[in-house]
Amino acid sequence: MAIHIREEANRCLNCKKPMCKAACPVETPIPEIIQLFKENRTLEAGEMLFENNPMSVICAMVCNHEAQCFGHCVLGRKGTPVQFYDIEKYISDTYLDRMVVSPKEKNGKNVAVIGSGPAGMTGAIVLARNGYDVTIFEERCYIGGMLYYGIPEFRLPKSILHRYQDQMVKMGIHIRPNTTISDALNIETLFRDGYSAVMACTGVWRPKTLGIVGESLPNVHFGISYLTNPSAFQLGENVAIIGMGNVAMDVARTALRHGARQVTMYARGKHIAASSEEVQYAQLDGAETVFGKMIDHITPEGPVFKTSIFDENDKVIGYEEELEAVKADATIIAVSQGPKDRLLLTTEGLKKAENGMLQVDENFMTTVPGVFAAGDVVTGSYTVVSAVRQAKIAAEGIMKYLSSENV
């Protein structure tokens, strides 16, 4: 691998106006990193990566590179783009355990971060670097959010999150696992106990339902419930998946690794939400895709569909009357997630935006002064790098807020 990434680095043209960087949501300084790497200054390159994006090693593994750096590299116009994400993975994986971290001198201000997904982790790291005393409250036992409980081990090893936790603790970040805010404790309690600001990064964990008969049958499950702990489920050999987004792809690939022999994903239309890379991997693993099937209801024997009718642009314009029953030992519904709304229900003044997510201003402050938010709880189910981008802005917003005279 080292030889390959060195060759990749040597192919980079060190562009003056790098398209790769412009296409990265956190504007990773790609040419500068590559130059440092070529000069064997790997740890300096790692420091630059982490300074800009504390989730660098994770983004190197799970970002949609086709739509970002790789897909926009100028060399791709006539040939093969530079595979920067492999270079990034090598550098940031090497750097993760070797970064020199020690708690920063504290500035006397405490910040509470709710949720330890990529948004919460990024926010906590940025604030701790700037001298804030940060405590993360996490409902589950391990940090990482969807990185730990959603994205499967074969795409993102869970050990990386444990390595992060070690470094974050060394930075002086406190972590309270198995602690839900909006249960025994709430946002009001946090302010009572001396936290000057709160950053809510609670993600989207309520599976979206289809509103059809059969969703509560014993052999019907939601995608995110399954991925949280696949070994707890006995799916049988023949699995039907409703949906064809990235979560459905992860469900299909996980089920095939846990004993399922026949896994079929069904989509109502012909255009699907999953990236072409994820679809190709799911197909390589043996999953099948069936388009033009609208779920009507689910029985103990499996899902029942109506067939879609398409116009000349492949748009669904209706459904045939006839029903088609498909045999399946288990049916898994994977049609995205929404927020749980628990913070909204327990925090006076917190409001929803039109998209149903937490309403924030340009600094990512919510409608309650001192309460900021970032990640999927603001955008709806989206991406790791977007969560990082927002968390950086929200952390800056908190620092600005706490340095203003009225606090």
Which of ligand FAD, ligand SF4, none sits in contact with 15, Cβ below 5 to 8 A by type? ligand SF4
Region 24-43 residues binding ligand SF4, contact defined as CB under 6 A: 30-31
What DSSP designation does 181 have? B
- Binding characters for ligand SF4, 78-97, by CB under 6 A (x = yes): ----x-x-------------
Amino acid code (one letter) for 369: P
Element (H, E) at 38: helix 30-38
Please enumerate in sequence order all residues whose Cβ is within 8 A of that of 210, keeping only pairs 6 or more positions apart, or say none. 242, 295, 333, 335
15 binds ligand SF4 (CB under 6 A): yes
Give me the torsion for CA of 100, 202, 106, 160, rounded to 10°.
Answer: -10
Which of ligand FAD, ligand SF4, none sits in contact with 207, Cβ below 5 to 8 A by type? none
Beta bridge pairs of residue 127: none
Cβ(265)–Cβ(289) under 8 Å? yes
Please enumerate in sequence order all residues whose Cβ is within 8 A of that of 134, keeping only pairs 6 or more positions apart, or say none. 110, 111, 112, 113, 124, 127, 128, 172, 173, 174
Cβ(260)–Cβ(235) under 8 Å? yes
Judged by CB under 6 A, which stretch of 18-26, 97-105, 198-206, 342-350 contacts ligand SF4? 18-26
d(CA 109, CA 239): 51
Q: Please count the residues of this chain forming the interface with ligand SF4, following the rule CB under 6 A.
A: 14
115 binds ligand FAD (CB under 6 A): yes
- Binding characters for ligand SF4, 57-76, by CB under 6 A (x = yes): ----------------xxx-
151 binds ligand FAD (CB under 6 A): yes
Strand duo 206-207 + 337-338: pairing: antiparallel
Judged by CB under 6 A, which stretch of 9-17, 144-152, 307-315, 394-402 contacts ligand FAD? 144-152
Residue 179: other Cβ atoms inside 10 A: 16
d(CA 326, CA 240): 8
Judged by CB under 6 A, which stretch of 175-183, 285-293, 294-302, 315-323 contacts ligand FAD? 175-183
Which of ligand FAD, ligand SF4, none sits in contact with 19, Cβ below 5 to 8 A by type? ligand SF4
d(CA 85, CA 23): 13
Rg (CA), the chain: 23
Region 357-376 residues binding ligand FAD, contact defined as CB under 6 A: 375-376
Residue 372: strand, helix, or coil: strand
5 binds ligand SF4 (CB under 6 A): no
Cβ(81)–Cβ(147) under 8 Å? no
Which of ligand SF4, ligand FAD, none sits in contact with 247, Cβ below 5 to 8 A by type? ligand FAD
Among 57, 96, 227, 295, binds ligand FAD (CB under 6 A): 227
88 binds ligand FAD (CB under 6 A): no
Judged by CB under 6 A, which stretch of 1-9, 46-54, 137-145, 392-400 contacts ligand FAD? 137-145
Q: Which is nearer to ligand SF4, 35 or 238 (CB)?
A: 35
Region 322-341 residues binding ligand FAD, contact defined as CB under 6 A: none
Residue 339: other Cβ atoms inside 10 A: 21
19 binds ligand SF4 (CB under 6 A): yes
Residue 379: strand, helix, or coil: helix
Which of ligand FAD, ligand SF4, none sits in contact with 82, Cβ below 5 to 8 A by type? ligand SF4
Which of ligand SF4, ligand FAD, none sits in contact with 372, Cβ below 5 to 8 A by type? none
Cβ(252)–Cβ(267) under 8 Å? no
Element (H, E) at 200: strand 195-200
63 binds ligand FAD (CB under 6 A): yes
382 binds ligand FAD (CB under 6 A): yes
- Binding characters for ligand FAD, 384-403, by CB under 6 A (x = yes): xx-x----------------
18 binds ligand SF4 (CB under 6 A): yes
Which residues in this chain contact ligand SF4 in the complex, by CB under 6 A? 12-15, 18-20, 30-31, 73-75, 82, 84
